Amino acid sequence: MAAGAEDVVEAIVQNKPALRKLALAIVNDSDLRLAVINSIIRDVATKSDLDSLRKEIDQKMDSLRKEIDQKMDSLRKEIDQKMDSLRKEIDQKMDSLRKDANSMESRIARIEGQMGLIIGINVAVLVAVIGVLIRLIF
């Protein structure tokens, strides 16, 4: 645009009544109006465009939901398997601990029995020694 034309445009933009007259002239002239509409319409989304976009978004959302549901199901199964495995391992360790505790109880019972026998023998020996000592003294 030439420098003179730029000055004219700037003057019209600064002068509100002149700008309104120019806008009315564009609106009233069918060729100018059509040119403005065609240049604007390229950037405007139509109802059909919006419907198409909405359908595309809905399809993607459905696809994402299905994918998330599948992954959640997979994770649930994996967690269930791990929980079952942990339960079995805990049960095995508890059984092992019970066996160890039972074994220890048996050993303690045997030791108690042996201690009772040793104490009985020691008491008998002590009584015999005391008896011998008493005979020696008297």
pLDDT in tens, 2-27: 668 888 888 888 989 988 998 888 88
112 inside domain: yes
93 inside domain: yes
78 inside domain: yes
132 inside domain: yes
Model-wide pTM > 0.95: no
Q: How far apart are CA 90 and CA 84, in angstroms?
A: 10
Q: How many domains, the chain?
A: 1
- Asked if 32 and 25 touch (Cβ cutoff 8 Å), the reply is yes
Two structure tokens written together for 91? 């049960």
Q: Given this model, what pLDDT does residue 136 score?
A: 87
79 inside domain: yes
Buried b (16+ CB within 10 A) or exposed e, 60-69: eeeeeeeeee
Q: Given this model, what pLDDT does residue 82 score?
A: 98
Q: How many CA atoms lie within 13 A of 22 on its CB side?
A: 12
Domain limits for position 114: 71-138
109 inside domain: yes
CB atoms within 10 A of CB 117: 10
pLDDT digits (tens, 9 = 90+) for 77-133: 999 999 999 999 999 999 999 999 999 999 999 999 999 999 999 999 999 999 999
19 inside domain: no
17 inside domain: no
